[in-house]
Amino acid sequence: MSDETGARIRKKALALFRKRGFERTTMRDIARAAKVSLGAAYYYFPSKDALVLSYYEDMQLAHDKAARAAFRGANGLEERVRGVLHSKLDVVADDRHLLGAIFRTAVDPESALSAFASSTGGVRQQSVAIFDEAVGDEPMPEDIRALLPKAMWLLHVGMLLYFAHDQSPGQIRTRHLVDDAARVIVPLIAMASLPMLAPMREELVRLVARAFEPQVPSPSTPPAPGESS
């Protein structure tokens, strides 16, 4: 019954996390709720953080579906941006306190769950891909097109951080922020596309692109020449 047991532990864990928060839920609580021993819980999930990562994956999958649904009714870039961001907030709305736990590990350079670690790379790439879909075939200079999804992913992390700290009722402030950001992005791209600004744009794009370069040769990518600094 391995599959069933693991699923039950996971389900109970997420339920407890939602109800009482990450910190105040102990592994013993989880085991008790799932009617297994503490050791069994650890047999299925090597750490408490692993249970959070499990939530992280769930969340990503749910966002994929929600965002694509939003895209279907959307007209133009602004609406797609609004859709991809609001749908993310919808997905995590009931789990704001869990975000804190995720951020804590995501930000730690030593953690395997670090937002920049390769173990979460798959989930992150999937997340960037949905922003790529949001940009779609909106006309813009090639260099901007290449970077925009990553930049949006980064901003969306900031949005989640803001959301996690947002004390306003229904987190209305974050919702407003998203609307404002969506409204601004189209003219911003238009402005950046002005030929007159091409030189500066190139410099900015180069700067951001360099910031995104991988730190270590990832196992799937052979060591690229000329990438030490």
Partner DNA sequence: GTCTATAACATGATAGAC
Partner DNA sequence: GTCTATCATGTTATAGAC
Interface contacts to DNA, rule CB under 7 A: 1-2, 5, 25-28, 35-40, 42-44, 46-49
Site for its own copies in 100-159 (CB under 8 A): 100-101, 103-105, 107-110, 114, 116
User: Is the Cβ of residue 44 or residue 163 nearer to its own copies in the bound state?
Assistant: 163
Evaluate whether 176 touches 115 at the Cβ level (below 8 Å).
no
Q: How far is the CB of 4 from DNA (least distance, A)?
A: 8
Q: Print burial letters for 23-60: b (CB count within 10 Å at least 16), e (below 16).
A: eebebeebbebbebeeeebbebbeebbebbbbbbeebb
Closest by Cα among 28, 40, 32, 38 to 4: 40
Q: How far is the CB of 210 from DNA (least distance, A)?
A: 35
Burial of residue 121 (CB within 10 Å: 0-12, 13-18, 19+) is middle
Q: How far is the CB of 61 from DNA (least distance, A)?
A: 24
Evaluate whether 130 touches 64 at the Cβ level (below 8 Å).
yes
Q: How far is the CB of 103 from its own copies (least distance, A)?
A: 4
Residue 20, binding choice from its own copies, DNA, none, Cβ under 5 to 8 Å by partner class: none
Q: How far is the CB of 74 from its own copies (least distance, A)?
A: 21
The Cα–Cα gap between 61 and 133 comes to 15
User: Is the Cβ of residue 47 or residue 119 nearer to DNA in the bound state?
Assistant: 47
User: Is the Cβ of residue 5 or residue 111 nearer to its own copies in the bound state?
Assistant: 111
DSSP letters for 168-218: SGGGHHHHHHHHHHHHHHHHHHHHHT-GGGHHHHHHHHHHHHHHHS-SS--
| DSSP-based three-state secondary structure for 113 | coil
What are the two backbone dihedrals, phi and then psi, of residue 144, each rounded to the nearest 5 degrees? -65, -45
Closest by Cα among 168, 12, 15 to 89: 168
Query: Is 202 among the residues that bind its own copies (CB under 8 A)?
Result: no
Residue 204, binding choice from DNA, its own copies, none, Cβ under 5 to 8 Å by partner class: its own copies
User: Of 35, 188, 198, 218, which one interacts with its own copies (CB under 8 A)?
Assistant: 188
List residues binding its own copies (CB under 8 A). 21, 23, 96-97, 99-101, 103-105, 107-110, 114, 116, 161-162, 164-168, 172-173, 176-177, 180-181, 183-184, 187-188, 191, 197, 200, 203-204, 206-207, 210-211, 213, 215-216, 228-229
